[in-house]
Amino acid sequence: MKKVVILATCLLAVAACQKYSPIQPDGGKEDTSAYDVRITPVFTKATETSFEEGDAIGVSISRTTGTFATNEKLVYQSGAFSGSLKWYAEGAQGSRISAYYPYSATVPTSFSVQTDQSQGTSTSDFIAGIKEDVLPSAYAVTLPFRHKLTRIVLNVTNNAGGEPASISLGGAKLGVKLDDTFTATVDPESATGAIKSWKQANNTYVLILPPQTVALVASVITAGGNELTQVLQETALAPGKQYTINMIVNPADLKVAFSGEIEGWEDGGEIGGDNTIIEKLSDGYILYHEDKYTVAKMKDGKWWMTQNLRYVPEGITVGDALTNVTAGVYYPVVVNSENTAAEFSKNIEVITARGYLYQAEVALGLKVGDLTTVAAAQALEGAQGLCPKGWHVPTSADIQNLVGKVAGLTTIESPYNPNKADCLIVDLNADGFNMDAFGAISIQDNTKTAGTFMGWAKGYPDKISSGMFCGSSYGGVTYNTKDEPDSGIKNLQFYGFMPMTNKATEADYTCNGSKVSYRIAAPLRCVRNE
């Protein structure tokens, strides 16, 4: 492993990294056992190590019916881990994948760090990842890896002259016990030793040690050969955490102190829990709910997700029936194999490429049926909803400033609509927006007992040619009795996108703003807060 920050570029598992073309569902009949198991790694913490060609991980796969694979060796090549392991044939059965690095002949139940880490910390950094409900696929599985041990960063002010011969921390146990989820705890029976740190940069040294409660002993051998030591206060070192120690090296003494709070391995604190996000904007992606989404900064000056959300909130079962008008979340829409109608697709590749379809209340962070007043709908403008922290469901202003033309609002000039005509999808996609007509489930209002597929037309039988996207700005209301609020809400509208590809050529495809009924189920894109 080499010393660089891991910055995965375009996920092999994301079909939408390229221009989208409709994927036909396979009806669950494809032979998934013909596909190799491939894993694309992403780190949920920043690190000095990334995988390089030839690195190996151990992979295990289990299902409710039993163990499918145990400690299979997969080798890193061209951005993904692969080997001789192939998927099982039952393509609709999910599984649990666990993987760890560095690979050993048997799944490790223990691990030890090196006492000499002066040449780098990668061989002492135990990394593992687990992902549930994985379906067999021709695409690589995105597996988030986490550091299981503890990292120490030493910021050194050297007043002793010359570069120190070595900087070490002593008093720590070197061994780790690992459970079946790769949770690391210190082995109390393991040896105690001094760990020599690696010089990462000028005046910055790092080392890895097992998580434990310990009073470390800092030791510096100066360029002149003097050994200076100081005992630190006892501190609980947690797994997956980084701690900073400030050291001042004087000719005759050493001053050492922890700098303060624990930091996550990545700047910004510990990554974990619900609705968390890792942003790699300069590399064009975010990691959200352990899934990777491409993003782009458009000419309106804002960061947009360039893939549709594919997150299912806890407690929701994805809908696959048009008669279920309050499912909240539905499977994506595709053209059937005969090119005669639209249908739902549960194909994992289609879900990855097209995302799920969300009714507005769920997209905005509520449950279907929660919105009962106009005031409550108006208050949702700019809501985070299902979006990551720091992002929000697009407002009418976001939409208008991007595409210029929004039904019901005054058309303005925008970067992608300078002539105040229609915004062309080709112009948006030239800057990486990856927009297409993804279809929707049309449910006109809350009195309807069945929905219809939106997007398929006889004139364009081989594709979905229209759709809508969720937004957060209130757009209108109808009541059960016209103009009588006391009769109750019949329908609410929010401003969203409406892509249209029902044209002869791609150059004429449009994406303008529109009002979207709140029971319509549509894709969701998020925009970053300013």
Three-state secondary structure of 191-208:
CEEEEECEEEECCEEEEE
Bridge partners, residue 206, by sequence: 153, 198
Bridge partners, residue 2, by sequence: 50
Amino acid (1-letter code) at residue 144: P
CA 434/CA 436 separation, integer angstroms = 7
- pLDDT tens digits for 154-188? 989 888 878 899 999 999 999 999 999 999 999 99
CA 382/CA 391 separation, integer angstroms = 9
Locate CATH 2.60.40.2630 in the chain: 2-264
Name the E strands within 299-353. Answer: 303-305, 329-330, 333-335, 342-344
Taking Cα atoms as reference points, which of 170, 153, 156 lies closest to residue 216? 170
Choose between 491 and 255: higher pLDDT. Answer: 491
Question: Lowest-pLDDT range, 123-127, 271-275, 360-364?
Answer: 271-275
Cβ atoms of 51 and 40 closer than 8 Å: no
Cβ atoms of 172 and 216 closer than 8 Å: yes
CA 467/CA 353 separation, integer angstroms = 15
Residues 6+ apart with CB under 8 A from 54: 75, 76, 77
Q: Which pLDDT score is estimated for 495? A: 98
What is the SS3 assignment for 92? coil
Cβ atoms of 468 and 452 closer than 8 Å: no
Q: Which pLDDT score is estimated for 264? A: 44
Kindly tell me the burial class for residue 468, based on how many C-beta atoms sit within 10 Å of its own C-beta (0-12, 13-18, 19 or more).
buried
Does CATH place domain 2-264 in 3.40.630.40?
no
CA 272/CA 275 separation, integer angstroms = 9
Q: Give yes or no for residue 266 having a pLDDT over 60.
A: no
- pLDDT tens digits for 113-138? 999 999 999 889 999 999 998 999 88
CA 330/CA 521 separation, integer angstroms = 7
Query: Encoding tokens for residue 255?
Result: 């001053």
pTM here?
A: 0.62
Where residue 257 falls among pLDDT bands split at 50, 70, 90?
low
Q: Give yes or no for residue 459 having a pLDDT over 60.
A: yes
Question: Lowest-pLDDT range, 16-30, 109-123, 146-160, 491-505?
Answer: 16-30
Mean residue pLDDT of the chain comes to 87
CA 424/CA 101 separation, integer angstroms = 47
Cβ atoms of 357 and 345 closer than 8 Å: no
What is the SS3 assignment for 215? coil
Bridge partners, residue 305, by sequence: 295
Give me the mean pLDDT over the 258-267 stretch: 45
Q: Which pLDDT score is estimated for 271? A: 24
Taking Cα atoms as reference points, which of 231, 234, 172, 164 lies closest to residue 207? 172
Name the E strands within 455-503. Answer: 473-479, 489-500
Cβ atoms of 145 and 18 closer than 8 Å: no
CA 292/CA 270 separation, integer angstroms = 18
Cβ atoms of 395 and 381 closer than 8 Å: yes
Name the E strands within 222-340. Answer: 227-231, 235-237, 241-249, 254-258, 263-264, 277-280, 285-288, 291-297, 303-305, 329-330, 333-335
For residue 271, the number of C-alpha atoms closer than 13 Å in the C-beta half-sphere is 23
Question: If you count DSSP H runs as helices and E runs as strands, how many of each does the chain have, helices first?
Answer: 5, 40
Amino acid (1-letter code) at residue 307: Q
